[in-house]
Chains A and B, each alone.
Chain A
Amino acid sequence: MPTYSEEHKTFLKKRRRKKIIILICQFLIILFFLSLWEIASKTGIINSFLSSSPSQVVNTFISLLKQNNLWNHVYITVYETLISFVIASVLGFGIASLLWWFPTLAKVVDPYLTVLNSLPKVALGPLIIIWIGANMNSIIFMALMISLFITIINIYNGFQLVDYYYITLLKTLNASKRQIFQKLIVPSNKNIIINCLKVNISMSLIGVIMGELLVSKEGLGYLIMYGSQVFNINLVITSVVILAVVAYLMYLVISFIEKKIVQSK
Chain B
Amino acid sequence: MKPILKIRDLKKNYQDLDGEVEALGGINLDVYEGELLSIVGPSGCGKTSLLSVLSNLENKSDGSIELGKETIKIGYMLQKDALFPWRTILENCLIGLEIQHNLTEETKNRVIQLLNTYGLGDFMNKYPSSLSGGMKQRVALIRTLAIDPDILFLDEPFSALDYLTRIYLSEDVYNIIKKEGKTAILVTHDLAEAVSLSDRVAVLSKRPAVVKKVYTINIPNKSTPIKNRKRKEFQHYYDLIWRDLDAHI
Contacts and interface: CB of A to CB of B under 8 A. Distances in A.
B80 A173 contact: no
B154 to A, nearest CB: 12
Contacts of A179: 99
A166 B55 CA distance: 16
A173 B100 contact: yes
B99 A168 contact: no
Interface in A64-82: none
Contacts of A184: 84
Interface in A154-174: 163, 165-166, 168-174
Interface string B82-103: 1010100000000110111000
A171 B58 CA distance: 10
Contact of A188 (B55, B86, B100): B86
B55 A172 contact: yes
Interface in B41-78: 55, 57, 74, 76, 78
B61 to A, nearest CB: 19
Interface in B153-203: none
Contacts of A172: 55, 57, 74, 76, 78
A173 B55 CA distance: 10
A188 B95 CA distance: 15
B210 interface: no
B27 interface: no
Majority-rule SS of B interface residues:
loop
Nearest to B153: A172
A175 to B, nearest CB: 5
A165 B98 contact: no
B86 A187 contact: yes
A265 interface: yes
B99 A174 contact: yes
A172 B144 CA distance: 10
Nearest to B51: A172
Given A179-B99, A183-B98, A169 B86 contact: no
A188 B82 CA distance: 12
A190 interface: yes
Interface pairs A-B: 6 shortest CB-CB: A172-B76, A169-B82, A173-B96, A175-B99, A173-B99, A165-B82
12 contacts: A166-B82, A168-B57, A172-B57, A173-B95, A173-B96, A173-B99, A173-B147, A174-B99, A183-B95, A187-B84, A188-B84, A188-B86
Interface of B: 55, 57, 74, 76, 78, 80, 82, 84, 86, 95-96, 98-100, 147
